[in-house]
Amino acid sequence: MTEALKPALAFDSAQDLDELHAMLDGVRMKNGWAKPTPSLYPEPKRPFIPAHWRYADARAALHAAGRLVGTDRAERRNLIMANPVPGNDYGTTRTIVGAYQMVKSGEYARSHRHTPNAMRLILEGAPDAYTIVDGKRIPMLAGDVLLTPNWSYHGHDNQSGRDAYWIDFLDVPLAEYLGPIFFEIHPDTLEQSSEAAPLSPMRFAHSEYSVRVAALQDTSPGVKCLELGPPRLATFDRVIVQMAAGTRWNRPRTTVNQIYVVVKGSGTATSGEHAFDWNPGDMIAIPSWHDHHVHASSDATLLRVSDAPLMRMLGWERTALASR
């Protein structure tokens, strides 16, 4: 036997499995027949739980942060909605993070770019508040949905007379897990632009999509759904859900991670033992493999953000009603 084919240890001398396991540790190998936890299981685990965050709390906290944290001290003045499970301090779901952000009147947040995709829903904007995406000044008005695809420079400039508030969504938890995180600051700090682009394909204006969704047929009684796009992102989508007062929308378990934000209206959401009362600006996380029910107390509009495009691309989208 050549030296290259000679094993490092005399595995044939093992008299029992304990001895063999110890030898495997010596060559940095793990047995696949006696793992303490299985690699495969009958259905998905559920490490994250349904959760709810109130905009009333986030807004008040950001207002206080506006006195204490300047944009010169933080890349973004934001609040991360970390799923409240032990050991987690970032992801709202496994693949997506949602964060409330504020830029004060007369303030800007410097331009940067990164490999994760990003999107924002404007909660309180103004005609003179802009997101600058690749050199174009895109208005931020209440209810607008704005995209910043990966590696697009983007910054925020608020020259209005009031503070601007919104929610950011990013696929950073996914990108961190897979590894390809890259980040750069724009050489001009705030990318300069004099070109306003209200019709940018990166902007889905509330004034436009609210009319479109109202004209659609119900996808289920009292519920209309409109996916915003193109353009689209490969890792998460954006769907406008319009619900008539009194509607109850039953949603089955799915491998898709979902986050809802209330654009208009009020109601309740339940998932297992979790029950939430929601109002405008609130955020609700429904991690994968949790069924849920949404009830609208008044006419309501929700934005649902999910990793369905990613799950479909990988062939992993499945609901509890689908055959295995």
| Sign of the Cα pseudo-torsion (172, 117, 262, 275, in order) | negative
Band of residue 73 on the pLDDT scale cut at 50, 70, 90: low
CB neighbour list of residue 177: distance below 8 Å, 6 or more residues apart: none
The whole-number pLDDT of residue 74 equals 67
- In this predicted model, what pLDDT tens digit does every residue of 270-285 receive, in sequence order? 999 999 999 999 999 9
Quote the DSSP letter at residue 280.
T
On the CB side of 69, how many CA atoms lie within 13 Å of its CA? Answer: 15
* Fold of the domain spanning 52-324: Jelly Rolls (2.60.120)
Tell me the per-residue pLDDT of 153-168, one tens digit each, with 9 for 90 and over. Answer: 999 999 999 999 999 9
Q: Are 262 and 253 in contact (CB under 8 A)?
A: no
pLDDT, mean over the chain? 94
Mean pLDDT over 122-130 rounds to: 93
Evaluate whether 77 touches 41 at the Cβ level (below 8 Å).
Answer: no
- In this prediction, residues 13-26 reach a mean pLDDT of 94
Mean pLDDT across 226-251 = 97
Give start-end residues of each CATH 2.60.120.10 domain in the chain: 52-324
Structure tokens at 159: 């020259």
